[in-house]
Every structure is written in C-alpha cells, then in structure tokens.
Amino acid sequence: MAEQSQILKRVGVIGGGQLAMMMADAAKSLGISIALQTPHNTDPAVTLAQQTVLAEIEDAQATAELGNYCDVITFENEFVDLESLFPLSQKGVCFRPGLEALSVLLDKYDQLCFVKNLGLPTPEFRALTKGEEDSVLPSIKKDWGFPIVLKTRRHGYDGQGTFICENEESLRWIWGKMGYPPLLVQEFVTFERELAVMAARSVTGEIVVYPAVETYQSDQVCHWVIAPALLTPSLTEQIQAIAYTLLEGLQTVGIFGIELFLTASGEIFLNEIAPRTHNSGHFTLDACQTSQFEQHLRAVSGLALSSPQMHCQGAVMVNLLGYELTQTQTNTLQTLYTQKQQQLTEIPNAFVHWYGKAESRPGRKLGHVTILLNTQSPEQRQSEAIAIARKVESIWYTDC
C-alpha cells in the first residue's frame, strides 16, 4: 500500500455490479486501474477490470489478496463484514471511505444516531430488540401512532428490509416472519416529495455537492429521478448545508448518496446515507461535467475533485427494471429488451446504459436511460421530465 499523500492509481473495488462497472469505465480516462472482489465472473464489472478476485463480498481473506493488487480499496455496496476488515486496516491496507466512517453508517440505527448528533433533522426513530417490545411498542404507539416504518438495521437495499406497518399486529407478524432481528423503527413521514443529493469529499477535505434531485419511488424502489429538483433557493441552500455538515462530520473520503424527505410544510428530513455511488446520481454520467463515478475515483485516489455542475438545463433518469416473466420466456425477454433499448435510443437526447447482467429478475435493475432537457423554464422542464419518464416506462413495460 502506498503513502496516503500520493496519487493512488490502482483502485480495488469490493463488489462487481453496475456501480463498479460504471466506476471501472470512468477509471479509463483517469489512467486508474481497477481490481475487483466479487463472487461471480459474470458480474457486470468483471470484463472492465484489470484483475478480479472471485470471492464473496464478506471474505476478508480475499480482501487481503485484493490489497496486493491495489493502493486503495473502496466499496460498491454495504454488504461487507466490517469487523474482519479492521485487522487489514491495521496492517496498512488503505480503505476509502475509512472503516471508522463506515462503522457509523452501515447500521441504519447507528447511522441515524450519528446524523442526529450532528444536529441534522431525521424522522423520529428507535431501536427495537427482541424482548423489549412490550415496553417499546406502547410508547411508540402513543408518541407516533401508526403507520410506522420498520427497517432491518443492516443489508437493506431497494426497499428490501423496509416495511410500512399499519398496526401493531402486522408489525409483530412481519418481525416474526423475519426471525426477530434487531430493528430500526421510524415514524412514518407524510412527505410531499423524496429528494436526494450526492456529495464528495477529497483527501484534502475539499467538498463538492451535486445539484439535488427529485426521486420517484414505487413499492420502495426508485423508478425515476429528475435533475435538478424544483426547489426554492432556501431549500437548495438547506440541502447543501446538510451535505456539508454530514461530510465534515464524517471526516472521510469518497462520494455519498444522501436521501431526503420534503414535507408539504417545507421541512426536510434525512432518510438515509449511502457511503458510495448511488442510483440517484446516475444522471451525472450524461448531464454533469464530472460523473459521480469519476468524482468518487478522484476522491479515493487522492486527485483534486472536479466540477459537479450540470452542462444542460435538466435531465431525467429512468431505471430499466426486470419484467415479471417466467423462466421459460427468457429468450423472448432478451429479444424484447434489445428491441426496447433500440426504441429508447430513438428518444431525442437519450443515453441508454445497459448493465449486461447475466440474469434478469422482476424488479432487478438491468439498465437505465438518461434524457437531457434544454427547456429554460424550470416548471415547464419539470412537466416535460415527468412526461418523458412516463413515455420511457410505457415503452419499457408494455407487452410484459
């Protein structure tokens, strides 16, 4: 491992999915080489990496081997076994973001405690552990009322592990089905809109914040993102300030995805922080001067950060999710996917990104498309963005 002040040109990535793939693509123009740790050689990033250690994400011995091929190790997902990485860090393996920062972020309850201690607004939350329910549940019921939101403390993604419970019986039933893991319970926020913002911090402490975006979830999965979000200058400032406070509080290096709720009365609550590149930042690939993937690589390799500004008036990014089709229809599905990608490329100013995953599953993120918008008026652009997102979805999800 190299000295911390050097430019680190060999980057290891734990994970080999689409985020690692887009990072490996961005690495080329920076002259950075990528080594991966991922369990399947069919994973999207494998063909772009210079080296791959085929191993489970939590395999720390494999991470030690990965360390032999690179100067710094970063992450494309949160499924690591943090405890087993600390000894590697003590032996000089350089992780960015650092393991101390990850140790307050990977557990959703610890993360919200950290955020609250920084003075940032979060929905009300509590931890719930088996055996404590008869004392905790009555006070939650009294203080917040139902519905309440129940989340597994680790390993949740794309709404997996997040449940909205209408009453105590359903909460107890869902928790029981899960086998009573420790939980984060949260008051239900009646938000008007969901927002997100990407922000990066460099080795020297420089921070850049991307324009905040509006995200549209359905069944707790992100379907589309509009950039920039239509916000008052005061809300824009508040979001920037949240991002700065958070990254200064973390004192670590890399890019972070910050998810927010905006209520009808104009209050902002921080929902969640992802310590990595994020789906809400995919628009940056085609719409910004520096993509989130390049920015993250710049940060972790010790380069100066680069402009996060958009080079167009706006953009809409739509996720291309797997369809609900049976196994026997796989070939039909591939043909359909190819035809539909072609149709999407015909939309003016559209950029289709396909992740080349070996398998499709209903709801799995298979690709995304970003459409650049040049309408001056923010309100008009917003309606245009929504109309285009609907058009993309009608192309993508018909006949399935």
Binders in 77-116 for ligand ADP, by CB under 6 A: none
Residues in the interface with ligand ADP (CB under 6 A) total: 19
| 156, 181, 182, 356: residue in contact with ligand ADP (rule CB under 6 A) | 156
**Residue 50: C-alpha distances to residues 12, 154, 298 (Å):** 10, 31, 18
Least distance in Å: CB of 306 to ligand ADP? 28
SS (H, E, C) 352-369: EEECCCCCCCCCCEEEEE
The least CB distance from residue 205 to ligand ADP, in Å, is: 28
Binding segment for ligand ADP (CB under 6 A), chosen from 64-72, 87-95, 148-156, 301-309, is: 148-156
185, β-bridge pairs: 126, 150
Q: Give Cβ neighbours of residue 272 (< 8 Å, ≥ 6 apart).
A: 108, 111, 258, 259
Q: Is the Cα dihedral 298, 285, 16, 76 positive or negative?
A: positive
Q: How far is the CB of 194 from ligand ADP (least distance, A)?
A: 6
Contact segment (CB under 6 A) with ligand ADP among 21-29, 113-121, 159-167, 332-340 equals 159-167
Closest to ligand ADP by CB, 279 vs 291, is 279
> Looking at beta carbons only, is 227 or 297 nearer to ligand ADP?
227
Residue among 149, 185, 198, 200 that touches ligand ADP (CB under 6 A): 149
Asked if residues 149 and 171 have their Cβ atoms less than 8 Å apart, the reply is no
Which phi and psi (to 5°) does residue 397 adopt? -100, 5
Q: Which residue from 158, 168, 267, 393 is in contact with ligand ADP, where contact means CB under 6 A?
A: 158
Least Å distance, CB 258 to ligand ADP, is: 11
- Compute the radius of gyration of the chain from its Cα atoms: 21
Q: Which is nearer to ligand ADP, 110 or 158 (CB)?
A: 158
Segment interacting with ligand ADP, rule: CB under 6 A, options 99-107, 156-164, 349-357, 360-368 = 156-164
Among candidate residues 165, 167, 162, the one with its CA nearest the CA of residue 184: 162
363 binds ligand ADP per the rule CB under 6 A: no
User: At which residue do the structure tokens 């080329």 appear?
Assistant: 28
Nearer residue to ligand ADP within complex by CB, 98 or 159: 159
Residue 380 interacts with ligand ADP (CB under 6 A)? Answer: no
- Run of H or E residues at 22: helix 18-30
Longest distance between any two alpha carbons in the chain, whole Å: 58
Kindly tell me which residue out of 84, 162, 170, 240 binds ligand ADP, with binding defined by CB under 6 A: 162
Identify which of 6, 19, 51 has the alpha carbon closest to the alpha carbon of residue 277: 19
Cα dist from 330 to 9, 206, 327, 399, whole Å: 40, 48, 6, 14
> CA-CA distance, 236 to 285, in Å (whole number)?
22
Quick check: helix, strand or coil at residue 215?
strand
Q: Compute how many other C-beta atoms are within 10 angstroms of the C-beta atom of residue 226.
A: 24
Per CB under 6 A, 272 contacts ligand ADP: yes
Residues 169-228 that bind ligand ADP (CB under 6 A): 186, 188-189, 194, 217, 220
Tell me which residue has tokens 């919200």: 112
Candidates 39, 121, 159, 356; binder of ligand ADP (CB under 6 A) is 159
Three-state DSSP class for residue 296: helix
Interaction of residue 271 with ligand ADP, rule CB under 6 A: yes
Half-sphere exposure of 192 (CA within 13 A, CB side): 10
Q: Identify whether the C-beta of residue 319 lies closer than 8 Å to the C-beta of residue 368.
A: yes
Question: Of residues 4, 129, 143, 157, which one binds ligand ADP by CB under 6 A?
Answer: 157
Asked if residue 259 binds ligand ADP (CB under 6 A), the reply is yes
Q: How far is the CB of 219 from ligand ADP (least distance, A)?
A: 9
Which stretch in 129-137, 154-162, 229-237, 287-295 sits in contact with ligand ADP by CB under 6 A?
154-162
Of 63-71, 88-96, 149-157, 246-254, which segment contacts ligand ADP by CB under 6 A?
Answer: 149-157
Q: Is 9 or 154 the residue whose CB approaches ligand ADP more closely?
A: 154
- Residues β-bridged to residue 38: 54
Enumerate binding residues for ligand ADP (CB under 6 A).
123, 149, 151, 156-162, 186, 188-189, 194, 217, 220, 259, 271-272
